[in-house]
Chains A and B, each alone.
Chain A
Amino acid sequence: MKTKVYIRSSGMISPQNTFGKSITLENPVLPGGNRMNAIEPDYKQILDAKSIRRMSRIIKMATAAAQECMDAADLKQPDAIITGTAYGCLEDTITFLERMVENQEEMLTPTAFIQSTHNSIGAQIALTMKCHGYNNTFVHRGHSFEQALLDAMLLIAEGEMKNILVGGVDEITDTSHAILSRFGLFRREPVVSDLITNPGKGTIQGEGAGFFLLSSEASGDDMATLDHLALHFKPSGTHDLLDFINQEMEAQQISIEDIDLFVLGLNGDLKNDSEYDVLQSAIRDHQKNAFFKQLSGEYPTAVSFALWLAATTLKNKKLPFSGPGMSSRGNMKRVLICNAGLDGHHSLILLSAC
C-alpha cells in the first residue's frame, strides 16, 4: 500500500503494566499459572461512573483502552471505529446461555443478550465518544485484529478519512478457560519464566484490549509508521513462514537483513513453535528476536499486543521490557511482527520508525 499510515497513539490493557501514564515494564509480570489475566485499571479515572456499572468486563477494558488512545492523541472523536474480536463478549454470551438452560427458556432478562453481540464493543465506544462515523467489527478467529487493521489501512488509502481508531479485544472467562483447557491448549504445569525457552505441550491463555489511532497525516510525535500488512490462511499442508516473509519483503523492496527486530508469536507450545523453526535459523542474529506471548499470553487478537510492543519500541528506540528473549538494541528502524496462529491464520506486520 503506497499511502503512508501513521500510528499516532495507543491504549493497551494487558497482563503487563501497559496502561496509564505510569507504565512500568522493566520487570515483566510472570505468568505463575496457565492463564494471564489483564491488569485492569481503576475505570472510574477514565470512564463515566454511571456507565461503568452497565458495562461488562470486556467492554470496560475496550472502552478504557480506546479512550486512553484518543486522549494520548488529544482527539475527541475518530472518523471511524473498527474492532477485532474472535470470541466477542463471552461473559455475557455464557451468562445468557446458562440462564436459558437453567430456566428452561423462561423468565429471561435481556441485558446479557444485548451485551452479548460482538459489535456491542465498538458500539459502546461509539456511544461513549458520540462518534457517528464508520463502525465495523471483524470476528475472523486469529485474523480478527489484523483484518480490522487492514480495513483501517484501506479507509486511509481510499482517502476519505484521516483518523481511524482500531483495536483488538478478547477476554478470558472461567468457563472459556475450562472449555479451551479440555482441547489441551494450555500447559498442565504452572509456567513461570521459561514459557518460550522451555517449550512443552500447550501454552498459557492471555487476554487484553489494545487500541491504536491510525492517521493519514504525520503529527510530529507519532509512534511509528505502519508500512505493510500481509495475511495468509493455511487450510492444510505446510506453509513456510520464511518464504512468506521473503515474498512479502521483496514486494516492499527490502530483505530480511533490513529488519532490526522480529516480534515473534512463539507461545511455548512445541507444535506451534515448530512453525518458526526455519525462520529462526534464517535470522542469524538472535538478538533480533522478541517473543511477545510470554508477556501477553496466547489469544486470537494477541497481535494487538505485539503491535503495541513494536510501536512502543520504535518510539522509545528500545524494547520496553528486559528479560529472556528481550534483548534491547540501539537504532532500530524496522520491526516485523510475525504470527502463526494454530488455526492456520498467519500474519506479518511491518513497521518503521518515524
Chain B
Amino acid sequence: MIVKPAAEIFVAGVGVNSALGLNLAANLHALQAGSSGIGPITYLNTKHREVFSVGEVKSSNIDLGLLTGLSPDTSRTALLSYIAAREAWDDAGLHHETGLRIGFVSANSVGGMDKSEDFFEEWMADNTKGKLKNVVGHECGYITDLVAMKLGIHHYTSTISTACSSSANAIFHAARMITAGYLDVAIAGGAEALTRFTLNGFNSLMILDPLPCKPLDENRKGLNLGEGAGYIVLASAKAMSQLETKAYCRLSGWHNVNDAFHQTTSSPEGFGSFMSMQGAIRKSGIRQEEIGYINVHGTSTQNNDLSEGTALIRLFGDALPKLSSTKAYTGHTLGASGGIEAVFSVMSIAHGYVYPNLRFETPMKDAPLLPETSFSIDHNLRHVLSNSFGFGGNCSTLIFSAA
C-alpha cells in the first residue's frame, strides 16, 4: 500500500461538553484541577440508579433545552451535540457570509435511543400508543440533520457509526472531504447521551465498574459510561486564511483498520491497535519518537487496556511517550469519545497540556504502562496521538501536530 502524506488540514476551533462541564473552559478547568466528573446517576431514568457510577452531564433536558432553544423533548444526544457544535462554530469564527462550503460530520452510536426507549414502553403495552415524536429521531442521522439545520449547514451532512471509534472516523472522513475539494471547512466529531439501552447493554456484558474506573491499572474492574459531545473545526489552508482566527494545530495523520478478531473483544496482542497507531504515524510523516503525548483509548476494561497496552509496548518499546486515559475524568462516552478526546488532544498541542490518568496505582502485570498521574504543561509538545477503538474490531488513530 502506498501512503500519501495528508494535505494541510488545520484545526480552527473546538467545542466540548462532558461530565466535566458544558463548555471548553469548564472541561479544561476540571482537567487541570484533577477533578473527575464520575459520580452517581442523577438524570438518567434507570433502575440501576443506585448501582453504577457514570460520567453524566450535570444538566437536565429542560436546562439543555433552555440553553439551546431546542425543545426539551428533543433527544439528549441532539441537545449535547448542538451545544458543542455551536461552541466550535463560534470558536472558529464561522459565519455564513464567508461563502465557504461548510460540512457537518457527526458520529453517534445509538441516535435518539433515549427517546425510543420511552416510546417502546408505551408501544409494547398497546401498539396504537406511544408518541411518534419519540421515535421519529431514532435514526443516528436524524440527530446530525437536526443540528446541521439549526446551524444552517447544508453543503454536506454525514453520520458515522462504528461504535466507540465513531467520532475519530467522522473527523478524518471530514478531513478527506476537504482534501478532495468537496468542502472548505467541516465541523467534525460526535455526540452521545446516556441511555438505558447502552447502560443495560454494557451491564449485560459485565464490563461496568460500579465504582469510578481505573484505566490502565492492574486492578481495573470495568468502565464507567459517560455522555457529552466534542467537535473540532477542520479547515483547508485556503479557508484558514479567510477565518479571523489562528489555527490551534493541524490534523496530520490518521488510520483505520479492523482487528477482525471478534465482535466485541480485541485480540490479546492488540493487532488492530498496533496497526492503527503505526498507520497513522506513517501517514503523518513523523518519526514515532516525535510523539510527545498519547491520549489512549483506555476504557478500563480488562480486554481493551491489556490489548492497547500490549500494542503500545510493542510499538514504542522502552521509549513510551507520556500517556493517559482521560476516561477516568469523563467516563466512556462511546460515539462521542473520539470527538471529546480530539478536543483534549488539540488543547494539548495548543497549550502543552498533559492530562493525568486519575486513580492510577498499580501497573498492569502483562502490559506495564506508567501513565501520567498529575497535570503538567510541556511546552515542547509537537505531536499528540489519540486512539479510539470499538466493538466490531474498529480501530482508529488520529495525530495532531503543531501548525
Interface residues of A, Cβ cutoff 8 Å to B: 1, 79, 81, 86-88, 96-98, 100-102, 104-106, 108-110, 113-120, 122-124, 126-127, 129-141, 143-144, 147, 151, 154, 157-161, 178-179, 182-183, 231, 233-236, 300, 343-344
Contacts and interface: CB of A to CB of B under 8 A. Distances in A.
A300 B163 CA distance: 21
A139 B123 CA distance: 25
B144 A140 contact: yes
* Top 7 A-B pairs, shortest CB-CB distance: A123-B392, A113-B201, A141-B141, A140-B141, A135-B258, A110-B204, A118-B161
Nearest to B1: A160
A117 B127 contact: no
Contacts of B142: 141
Contacts of A157: 180
Given A130-B260, A151-B173, A139 B204 contact: no
A314 B176 CA distance: 30
B197 interface: yes
A1 B111 CA distance: 32
20 contacts: A1-B180, A102-B124, A105-B46, A105-B48, A113-B200, A113-B205, A114-B264, A117-B392, A123-B258, A123-B392, A124-B263, A129-B260, A130-B260, A133-B257, A133-B258, A135-B258, A135-B392, A140-B140, A151-B176, A178-B127
A110 B162 contact: no
A106 B203 CA distance: 10
Given A108-B204, A120-B392, A141-B145, A135 B173 contact: no
B135 A123 contact: no
A100 B141 contact: no
Interface stretch (B94-102, B113-121, B311-319): B113-121
B205 A101 contact: no
B377 interface: no
Nearest to A1: B180
Contacts of B271: 132
Contacts of B136: 183
Most chain A CB within 10 A, of B179, B197, B205, B258, is at B258
A126 B139 contact: no
A301 B263 CA distance: 24
Nearest to B155: A233
Contact of A117 (B117, B163, B204): B163
A114 B205 contact: yes
Contacts of A133: 257-258
A109 B206 CA distance: 10
A160 B2 contact: yes
B178 to A, nearest CB: 11
Contacts of A131: 258, 260
Contacts of A117: 109, 161, 163, 391-392
A114 B138 CA distance: 18
Given A97-B120, A113-B201, A117-B109, A136 B160 contact: yes
A15 to B, nearest CB: 22
Which of the listed residues B4, B148, B149, B159 has the most CB atoms from chain A within 10 Å of its own CB?
B159
A139 B159 contact: yes
Contact of A235 (B154, B159, B177, B260): B154
B263 A79 contact: no
B309 interface: no
Contact of B47 (A104, A118, A127, A235): A104
